Structure formats: structure tokens, C-alpha cells
Amino acid sequence: MTNTRDHRRSRTHCKALAPHRISRAVRAEAHACGVSIVDATCPLVAGVHAEVRRLIRRGDTVVVIGGADHALAGALTGQAPRSIRWARTVSQVDALEIPDRDHAAYLVAPGLPVEEAAAVITALRARFPTARAQHPDGLCYSASDRAEALAGAARACDVLLVAGANDCADTTNVAERARAQRHAEVHTVTRVEDIQPHWLASAWCVGMTCARSAAPGIVAEAVTAISGLGPLSVAHREIDTHVVALDSPVRVGRQRPQPYNTMMAPGGLARETVAMNP
């Protein structure tokens, strides 16, 4: 999917918006050039854009909890550069400059585990007691589910394989999160041929989790390859947060995405293969 300004040079007349969307200025420029747009924006991201526009119309300065290098940053900040601030840590909250303390609002960037935003939210509410918060339905529980599933897999396995491109930031992030559990031996692989037999030699349980850049089909290929070491048992683990309105039993949260993280283990050397759907 395309998320750049190359529509001015490309001969292709149809472009897809990446999940984190592009700025309104780029979208308008694409329309002016006669480019047809297929919007693949994540519903939660679209909701954040709409919420930011609503808050800005109220005259609020909006603090987005997340890193300024977040994939969403360019498109979101492009809506109103003077009215949006980014904060990922408590120290960044302490350094915020907001013109009117009574017109502050905050929201959590999609993709950031909700639990990791807790300390920043506490600091924001201490500095700006009247700050408006986003509705809980707009929180990205997929990120929390993914982080929890990854942590559980890293604690359960002796070896954890992270499938993804070496130059992908998400691959690096997933590997770092897994290593932070201080249990599994973590390796990154781009293709199934990268898996080294000596990694699995003393493993009872081997896990595999996919970064967003993982090659299609690599999980099935890895299962096939590892099964050559002996009998293989596969267990599927899902973590799925449900958001339910208090006045209704109907689920109002996000839809369940297709699984893209998988963990595996060789039989003989390991008995359990875990498939995670964060």
C-alpha cells in the first residue's frame, strides 16, 4: 500500500491508503491529480482522526500519547500542527506547553498498548485536571492483546523466532519486547531457511511470532520444517479483549483481526507449538 507523494510521478491511477492514513493535504493533492484512492485505514485510526478534529473544533490542544515517530504522527499532526502535541514519557508531559490549561485533551495513539500509557495519563491528569479524555471504546486493545500474547509466549518457550524483515521497525520492537521477558532465546528470521538447527537442539518448546513485515506463509513453512525433527504438537493461544457497554450486553469494541502471530515447537525436541492471535 502506498503512503507517499509518489502519485505525482507514478503512472498508476489508483493508490491505497496505508492503515495509518495520510494527511488531508496529500489526499486533496491526490484527488487534484485525478488519482483514485482506496482507503485501507484502520477503523480505530479513522476514529482517532475524527476525534482529534472534534476536539480541535472545541478549541482544545490535543496531546497524543505515543512517540512522535509513530506511523500515525505525520498524518495526524498534519491536520493542525499548532494544536497537537506528542508525549510518550512522563518527562515529556512535564515539558509540554499548552496555551490554555482548561482546553487540553488527550488520547492514546492506536498501536500503543493501553497499559503503557497509564503513567503518562496519570501525569497528564495531574498537570491538566480538566483535560478531556477519549472514550474507552476508541482505545486500541489489539495492541494490548498482542503485547500480552507475545509476553506469554516468550515466557512459555525456550526459543522464540520472530519472523520479519531485518530493516522493519516492528521486527525490532517485537524482538526487544520478547527479550525483555528474560526467558526465551530470541532470533529474528526473514525466511524459513534462516532457522538454524542448533537453536532448537535443547529446546522443549519453540515459539514463532510474526512482525508486520513477515513473509506470507512463513508460519506454515516453519511448522513443516520443524516437524521434520520429530512429532509436533500445536497449541493455539488467543488473547482477545472485549469491550461491552454497561447498558447493553452487545459487544461494541473492535472486530477480531486475522491472526498474524504464531509460535511453534518441535516434537521430540519440543512438544508444544503455540499459535497466537494478538
> How far, in Å, CA of 189 to CA of 181, rounded?
19
How much is the pLDDT for 85? 93
Q: Is 235 helix (H, G, I), strand (E, B) or coil?
A: strand
Q: What rounded mean pLDDT belongs to the chain?
A: 78
pTM score over 0.85:
no
Distance CA 51, CA 76 (A): 11
Output 198 or 41, whichever has higher pLDDT: 198
Phi, psi of 275 (to 5 degrees): -105, 120
Grouping H, G, I as helix, E, B as strand and the rest as coil, residue 175 is: helix
Percentage with pLDDT > 70 across the chain: 74
One-letter amino acid of 253: G
Question: Number of H helices and number of E strands within the chain?
Answer: 9, 11
For the record, the C-alpha cell of 5 comes out as 507523494
**Under the phi-then-psi rule, with left for phi > 0, alpha for psi from -120 to 50, and beta for the rest, what region is 19?**
alpha
What CA–CA distance (Å, rounded) separates 199 from 191?
Answer: 15
Where residue 50 falls among pLDDT bands split at 50, 70, 90?
confident
Rg (CA), the chain: 21
Give the model confidence (pLDDT) of 68-119 as tens digits: 776 777 777 877 888 999 999 999 999 999 999 999 999 998 888 888 899 9
Joined together, the cell numbers standing for residue 271 give 512438544
Q: Is the pLDDT of residue 259 over 90?
A: no
Amino acid type, 228: G
**Strands, E assignment, the chain:** 14-17, 36-39, 61-65, 84-87, 104-108, 132-133, 159-163, 185-189, 206-210, 233-238, 272-277
Q: Quick one: which of 183, 171, 184, 159 has its CA closest to 215?
A: 171
Residue (of 165, 218, 226) closest to 197 by Cα position: 226
Rounded-to-5 percentages of helix, strand, coil across the chain: 35, 20, 45
> How many percent of the chain have pLDDT more than 90?
37
Helical spans, DSSP H, in 19-67: 24-32, 43-57
Query: Minimal CA–CA distance to 265: which of 229, 212, 218, 239?
Result: 229
Cell numbers linked to 206: 519453540
What distance in Å separates the CA atoms of residue 78 and residue 74, rounded to the nearest whole number? 6
Task: Give me the sign of the Cα torsion angle 119, 124, 127, 131.
Answer: negative
pLDDT above 80 (res 30):
no
